[in-house]
Structure 1
Amino acid sequence: MEERENKEIKIARFSSCRGVAFEINPNRSNPFAIGSPPKQERIGTWLWLPWTRNSSFKVLPQPHTISPTRSRASSHFCDIDIDASDFEVEFIAEVQDIEKPDKANVVKVQKLLPKSDPPRRSRLSIILLDQGFTCYKGLFLVCMALNVVALALSAAGCFPYAKTRAALFSIGNILALTLCRSEAALRVIFWLTVQTLGRPCVSLRIKTATTSFLQSVGGIHSGCGVSSIAWLAYSLVLTLKNKDKTSPEIIGVAFTILSLILLSSFAAFPLIRHLHHNVFERIHRFAGWMALILLWLFILLSISYEPYSHTYDLTMSKVVKKQECWFTLAITILIIIPWLSVRKVQVNVSSASSHASIIKFEGGVEAGLLGRISPSPLSEWHAFGIISDGKKEHMMLAGAVGDFTKSLVSTPPKHLWVRTMHFAGLPYLVNLYQRVLLVATGSGICVFLSFLLQPSKADVCLIWVAKDIELNFGREIIELMNKYSKEKVIVHDTAISGRPNVAEMSVNAAIKWNVEVVIVTSNPEGSRDVLRACKRANIPAFGPIWDS
């Protein structure tokens, strides 16, 4: 009896890190320390694993005691989850290799195993509740604070200009939020940033602070959106107190604009935006367009109204003298510019499996840029990373996770709508640094692959973790990766070698390659884990901004 209890205690010392069995060893100095893997035995299947100092790849045989881990279809192609049955097989195999128990003990071990995967937090809860205080939230609070102070001073009579021009402050906030979401304006800003700060003489602290700010400008967008509502409501209150100086038409238009902006902001609330993204996108677009049209009407009515005669007299001299007109003109131009680049183009769509499709377009594209495609330009747009060698063509790798991306596999289209003006995001800021580690899971590789195919300011190293790589992504993607130095690439196929600790791999690789910064593209949980691990190791790291 005592012997069995000892065995149970020893078995309990083996846990699971997302499906990979390991021995808990608190005495090691390395916080990521795990027990030694079971002895490998040779069979016909080979895999690449990054555990050598001389090379980024090592060929190891797969043990016959552990079945290949085939992941179930997940809601996000960057996920690398495993089945409960696979967890059980791996756990039992690990215990058998160390304890060599008889059949009775194996049965007892099976009773100790969970019948299903342990409960995991939902992706939405991680996005909304598990990011802590981010730069995005900081910018949101700064914008709100500045506007609240100005509103309070105006209401107290200490800021008379704002009291007489409250509508102008509302339009000014709308201009700021439009600027922060203008792909044309941000493309110029990102380019200027790389040209001025992407030099060895600029300190790493300045570069990382700039990266954090640029990828979080959505906080300014949200803060100015809420502030514009407050200023417009304040303007309406002041107008209603002096109804004799305005017209019912102007008040009615102003109330309609306020209602549309409220509707647009409500649709952008994180819970609604993440659960019903298509609804959010359409409301945000059409409510915004309608509000812009009514804003022009509101300005023209306000300028031309004569309170003494209760008539309208519009002249061009009145229009050009009003700041509201120039602000609204700038908003209109910023909104129109991306739509001028919309084209219907011929595409070649191929699928290596039912999990992803490759969409090919004509024309080379600079590394780090992203593109938008649509089956119906007025209803929905989808952003993807671009893979290109910068010469004759570019392609997008689309994981089949939604209705549109699944339709690319089931019924490949001959034509798609595209925005020929590509936009810059976090991947583009790789050019700011001298040496960068890129970490991708699943189809997230598409935003980084261009850096392996064309010359870049940065010396990049790559970790790619995915399932059934050749089966899901096709031979073409593997051949593109093979063009880059294998000394700087780590590829981990979870279908062969199980789910790894991506956070540990990232920290170890960043130290080994002595990189300045780590940039990760994964699902919310994976990105969070890598960012936290890098923070503990004092390594600058950036990932997707799920707030915006």
Structure 2
Amino acid sequence: MAEQRSTVSKSSSCRGVSFEIKPSQENLFNVKHSFNNQPNNSSGRWVWMPWSHPDPSKVFPFSAALEKSLSRQSSHFCDLNEEEEDDDEAEEMVDIEIQNTEKTSIPDPIKQTISLRKTVKPKQSRLSVILLDQGLFTVYKRLFAICFTLNIVALVLAATNHFAYAKKRAALFSIANILALTLCRSEALLRVVFYFSVKLLGRSWVPLPIKTAVTAILQSLGGVHSGCGVSAVAWLIYALVQTLINSDQTSTEIIAVASAILALLCASCLAAFPLVRHLHHNVFERTHRFAGWMALALLWVFIVLTNGYNPANKSYDKLKFSSLIKLQEFWLTITITFFTILPWVTVKKVPVKVTAPSGHASLITFTGGIKGGLLGRISRSPLSEWHAFGIISDNKDTHFMLAGAVGDFTKGLVSDPPRHLWVRGVHFAGLPYLVNMYQRVVLVATGSGICVFLSFLLQPSKAEVCLVWVARGVEENFGKEIKEMVTGSRNGKVVVHDTAIMGRPNVAEMTVDAARDWKAEVVVVTSNPEGSRDVVNACKKAGIAAFGPIWDS
């Protein structure tokens, strides 16, 4: 056994899925081996599924013992949040299975595959992957740094009497930052921005570096949102300090309201801090929403009070609308209010049909077709929480959402399927929508991440796509309907790897091979943080542009 351990290849894991870093060339589960058996043409339909593989010798019927040692219970949903088996127990389990099968004749490829599971990489927390492994100089963090630096430079100039306008109107600069962060999160506005980006740049003659740069910026606008949020707090602190220094020019009511706004903004920033947001997402969402609403209401009070206060007689004059509309603060706050209310105007309760192919996922059916690449939000209680899912549609009569049973909400869809759900009428554009900007794209999905890409197979798309889907128990976990959508497609090529039958692949190498074979301009992946990071890094190392979900997508 000790001798066998010494030959084990290094591997990393993606939520229970073993990714071999240096796979054995003799291993019949080697990704390159599988891809090299595919037709080398670059057009037409290409479906590779375990139940229709042209060479049955590449698929081994595992015994129950071997299947248990090779595949954990994880269904490999991209957003699965179940606790995995303890690494020590997993290694011990493999050892027991090998001991029990040493006296039997096992094909060498299966022995090699079993040995791969014995080297377990120290378990990483998802938070460390999200914050550190995605890089210290990501576009998101660069945008944050740019916004925050520009504001701090202006603030320092104001404090040192080199920017007189900002010194007198510090509150205005705080409100301007609040407007900027609101626009960066306006799904209606971003839908328009994404549409024109695709319309203008989705042409063959536009250089690829420009397309990828725009994609990276649009995907990372959360960096502007968070940078402006922190800057708004800094400007408001400065404004309050200035007010307290010149307290004879203002009233205690104005100071109290400004202090309350500052407290609410600080609460929102703290709730959005990655440690809180990741571990207590409902706390983050509700704090962000209700604190934001209260701060906006108090902002209107602040504007009315400051406009009506007369420092000469230390009293409030009668409110005059004519003087109010001359204030820049007034128009900025009007705009903030409009974009804050806009998504709630479209909220409605709609009938749905929820089916559960397995205890691991639910398929939600809505009426009406939706364009490919869009996402939607649903809720049982609209004031409490909202959940975003990719939309599957042929853009005709219906559309679907595939929800992996991960948290309380998604598990409730399986155990207690609703007949009605609250939805937002404006479906928002995300990274998948930008696929239309390119000519040839490889889409990579693990588990329920397939949902946002299926529309590109069901309806015409500007891009020629090759879909790579890695999942466990495709029909058992996702249902016959999803399987038929994948296998019945005539748009692009499809590669499905069922880990329950074919074992755990190296998704990163599989993606690189698919991108080279497809001559793809870009790769778009939807997986959990660690899986997405591995795929993106492997593609970039191979000189292929790649994008995956970021923690603040």
TM, length-normalised to structure 1: 0.89
- Paired residue for 2:60? 63
- Paired residue for 2:132? 129
Within the alignment, does 1:455 sit opposite 2:460 as a pair?
A: yes
Within the alignment, does 1:415 sit opposite 2:416 as a pair?
A: no
Within the alignment, does 1:275 sit opposite 2:279 as a pair?
A: yes
User: Of residues 356, 362, 383 in structure 1, which corresponds to 2:361?
Assistant: 356
**Structure 1 stretches of 5 or more lacking a match?**
1-6, 25-30, 41-47, 101-105
User: Of residues 53, 63, 84 in structure 1, which corresponds to 2:38?
Assistant: 53
- Paired residue for 2:212? 208
Cα distance in 1 for residues equivalent to 2:420 and 2:18: 47
Tell me the secondary structure at the aligned position of residue 120 of structure 1.
coil
Cα offset, 1:71, TM superposition: 3.1
- Paired residue for 2:43? none
Task: Go from structure 1 to structure 2 and tell me whether the alpha carbon gap of 1:353 and 1:86 turns closer, same or farther (over 3 Å shift).
Answer: farther
- Paired residue for 2:300? 296
Q: Which moved more, 1:125-134 or 1:371-380?
A: 125-134
Cα offset, 1:85, TM superposition: 7.1
- Paired residue for 2:486? 481
- Paired residue for 1:197? 201
Cα offset, 1:405, TM superposition: 0.3
CA contact (8 A) 1:535 1:541 kept: yes
Within the alignment, does 1:467 sit opposite 2:483 as a pair?
A: no
Cα offset, 1:546, TM superposition: 0.9
Task: Go from structure 1 to structure 2 and tell me whether the alpha carbon gap of 1:87 and 1:330 turns closer, same or farther (over 3 Å shift).
Answer: farther
String of CA shifts for 1:32-61, please: whole Å, max 9, x gaps. Answer: 552312699xxxxxxx96451315523434
Cα offset, 1:98, TM superposition: 7.0
String of CA shifts for 1:469-502, please: whole Å, max 9, x gaps. Answer: 1100000001111222497111001111111100
Within the alignment, does 1:521 sit opposite 2:526 as a pair?
A: yes
CA contact (8 A) 1:176 1:224 kept: yes
CA contact (8 A) 1:78 1:441 kept: no
String of CA shifts for 1:162-212, please: whole Å, max 9, x gaps. Answer: 000000000000000000000011001000101111111110000000000
User: Where do 1:171-320 residues align within 5 Å?
Assistant: 171-313=175-317, 314-320=319-325
Cα distance in 2 for residues equivalent to 1:344 and 1:144: 40
CA contact (8 A) 1:177 1:220 kept: yes
Tell me the secondary structure at the aligned position of residue 474 of structure 1.
helix
Cα distance in 2 for residues equivalent to 1:358 and 1:421: 21
Cα distance in 1 for residues equivalent to 2:128 and 2:278: 11
Cα distance in 2 for residues equivalent to 1:306 and 1:174: 27
Cα distance in 2 for residues equivalent to 1:547 and 1:308: 48
CA contact (8 A) 1:250 1:302 kept: yes
Tell me the secondary structure at the aligned position of residue 429 of structure 1.
helix
- Paired residue for 1:28? none
String of CA shifts for 1:220-251, please: whole Å, max 9, x gaps. Answer: 00000000000000001111111111111000
Cα distance in 2 for residues equivalent to 1:420 and 1:84: 49
CA contact (8 A) 1:49 1:491 kept: no
Q: Which amino acid aligns with 1:187?
A: R
Tell me the secondary structure at the aligned position of residue 122 of structure 2.
coil
CA contact (8 A) 1:359 1:395 kept: yes
Cα distance in 2 for residues equivalent to 1:115 and 1:171: 56
Tell me the secondary structure at the aligned position of residue 14 of structure 1.
coil
Q: Which moved more, 1:497-506 or 1:9-18?
A: 9-18
Task: Go from structure 1 to structure 2 and tell me whether the alpha carbon gap of 1:480 and 1:143 turns closer, same or farther (over 3 Å shift).
Answer: same
CA RMSD in angstroms comes to 2.9
Cα distance in 2 for residues equivalent to 1:515 and 1:86: 41
- Paired residue for 1:103? none
Within the alignment, does 1:12 sit opposite 2:41 as a pair?
A: no
Task: Go from structure 1 to structure 2 and tell me whether the alpha carbon gap of 1:270 and 1:74 turns closer, same or farther (over 3 Å shift).
Answer: farther
String of CA shifts for 1:73-119, please: whole Å, max 9, x gaps. Answer: 4795556978657755887779965789xxxxx9xxx9x99989553
Task: Go from structure 1 to structure 2 and tell me whether the alpha carbon gap of 1:35 and 1:97 turns closer, same or farther (over 3 Å shift).
Answer: farther
Number of positions where the alignment pairs a residue of Structure 1 with one of Structure 2: 519
Within the alignment, does 1:543 sit opposite 2:544 as a pair?
A: no
Bigger relative contact order (CA 8 A; separation at least 6)? 2
Identical-residue share of aligned pairs (%):
58
CA contact (8 A) 2:460 2:491 kept: no
CA contact (8 A) 2:472 2:500 kept: yes
Task: Go from structure 1 to structure 2 and tell me whether the alpha carbon gap of 1:77 and 1:510 turns closer, same or farther (over 3 Å shift).
Answer: closer
Task: Go from structure 1 to structure 2 and tell me whether the alpha carbon gap of 1:413 and 1:547 turns closer, same or farther (over 3 Å shift).
Answer: closer
Tell me the secondary structure at the aligned position of residue 205 of structure 2.
coil
Tell me the secondary structure at the aligned position of residue 412 of structure 1.
coil
String of CA shifts for 1:425-471, please: whole Å, max 9, x gaps. Answer: 00000010000000000000001000000001111110000011110
